[in-house]
Amino acid sequence: MAIRPTPPMDFDCLVVGHGAAGLLCASRLASRDVKVAVVGTGETSTSLSTGCINVLDQIESDLIDPNVLASQFPYSLAGKDRDEVIMVLEDLYSFLIPDLEMQGLPMRGNPLSIRRMLTSLGTPYQCSIPQIYNLRGRLEHISEKGTSLLGIMGHRDSDPDLASRMIKSTLDMEIRPFWTKPSSFEGRTDLTACEVSRLAKRKDLTDELAEAISEVEGELVGIPPVFDLSGYQEGMSFLERSSGKEVFELVTPLSLPGRRLQAAMESMARAKGCTMLLGWRAFDVEIVNGEVTGVVLNSRSREARVDLSSIVLATGDSVGGGLTLKGQSVLEPLMGASCTLIGEDLRTLHAEDLVELSNAGVEVDSVLRPRCSGEIIANAAVAGSVISGFSYPSGGGMGAAMLTSWLAAQTIMEVVG
């Protein structure tokens, strides 16, 4: 592997990982005039997600008690009392939400209140800040209005018959399923959401959909995801205008909504002035006397060693490659940061053992710094689901991951002054 001249790589902070945690952290740093670069490759968990921001995974009432938040990790890091926590959350969301809207992704909600909506399978789903056309389909709105679901034949994220049966059995609500078969699909079936979004850029598909929506019963109609980020606002408002109905999007993972959030956050980071090194891979971090001094980046046939004055580790969990498993240990491969231990009696693939396994991750101190070989690394911070306790399915959700990245940026700002 040759080390040859590379593009100028001169920055104060390198954020490793380009999912929601990495991009938010980098954007916050860039907005404070820190020279920051984001390195990452591949699909992020953010782009595979529902693209909705949830703040806690287990909530009983419609409102989250800030006192409860203040007692829970990572919210406890934001402050000791409810007012401090609320202030940090307000800062975070007043930074993020307008910028996402500027990039074409309006999201609505409040971190402290819970919205209940429907997934594409007809199961209930709750989160704090959904995308705007998910929010149109909140449960109380659905029950007030005459609501139908419209399936698009050939779209693989679409099964209103199944969804309708699930809604009946889990929520005891009657929502009638309808189907449309767009001729612009030209007989193709099992289309991925990305194919649908490509076809949706042609006027004939959106026209056909608008007509089908106008013909189904009810004044509120639920559809599967159809538009990518560039077509989202214009496309959905066109469907509403042309059909004369309110249209909502069913909450759908592994589809377009997560990709929208990913794309909007990448654009946000670029707009804030972050250098995006997407396609490069960080694979070795040098640590001298408890401080990170450099990183080796790789672009397949080139390596570049870059001096660093700070680093943010936002590499994701074991699914995203931020953590690897070795025997009964979880390892953080890039820095060798200490991880939580998995119980010694972990010998089965039973659910409780798997939860323990997925809970494992990098251990951090009160300002999210990692520890390597027993030493706290002064100029590093950890963000997102690589932190112990944050990995899906037991993590606190994207909102909690974003909070860690917001606070990690704080730690780095103090390091780079």
Partner 1 sequence: MTTDQCIKCGGCEQSCPVVCVEGIQSFSGPRTLAVDGPRFSVEINRLRDHIMKCTTCWKCEEVCPSRIDLPQAILEIRKVMFDPLKMLPGHRRIVENVDRFRMSIEPEGGAPPAPAGERGEVMYFPGCISRERIPSIYRGTVSTLEKVGTDFGVPKGWVCCGAPLEKVGDRDRMESLVEENLRTFEGFETIVTSCPGCTTQLFNHYGVEPLHTIEYLYESVGLNKLSFRHAGDIKVAFHQPCHLSRTIGRHAMDYALALLQEVPGLEVLELENADMCCGGGGGVVAGHPDVALDLANEKMSSFSDSGADLLLAPCPFCVLNLERAGGSNVREFVTFLEAFLE
Contact set with partner 1 (CB under 8 A): 2, 4-7, 41-43, 45, 47-48, 188-195, 198, 230, 254-255, 259, 277-280, 298-302, 304, 319-321
Residue closer to partner 1 by CB (options 121, 139) is 121
> Cα–Cα distances in Å, from 308 out to 35, 140, 295, 314, 367?
11, 51, 7, 16, 20
Count Cβ neighbours within 10 Å for each residue of 163-194 and write b for 16 or more, e otherwise: bbebbeeebeeebebbebebeebeeeeebebe
Closest approach, Cβ 8 to partner 1, in A, equals: 9
Q: Return the structure tokens found at 220.
A: 């509120």
Q: Which amino acid is at 391?
A: S
Closest approach, Cβ 340 to partner 1, in A, equals: 22
CA 300 to chain centre: 27
Closest approach, Cβ 203 to partner 1, in A, equals: 14
Question: How crowded is residue 366: how many other Cβ atoms within 10 Å of its Cβ?
Answer: 9
Closest approach, Cβ 243 to partner 1, in A, equals: 26
* CA 122/CA 251 separation, integer angstroms: 9
Closest approach, Cβ 82 to partner 1, in A, equals: 37
* CA 182/CA 241 separation, integer angstroms: 19
Contact 340, 388 (CB under 8 A): yes
Q: Which helix (H) or strand (E) holds 119?
A: none
Residue closer to partner 1 by CB (options 32, 188) is 188
Residue closer to partner 1 by CB (options 6, 113) is 6
* CA 219/CA 121 separation, integer angstroms: 21
Residue closer to partner 1 by CB (options 240, 249) is 249
Residue closer to partner 1 by CB (options 187, 374) is 187
Residue closer to partner 1 by CB (options 97, 296) is 296
Residues 6+ apart with CB under 8 A from 408: 21, 25, 312, 314, 368, 381, 382, 383
User: 98: closest CA among 264, 260, 270?
Assistant: 264
Closest approach, Cβ 131 to partner 1, in A, equals: 18
Closest approach, Cβ 160 to partner 1, in A, equals: 21
Residue closer to partner 1 by CB (options 41, 123) is 41
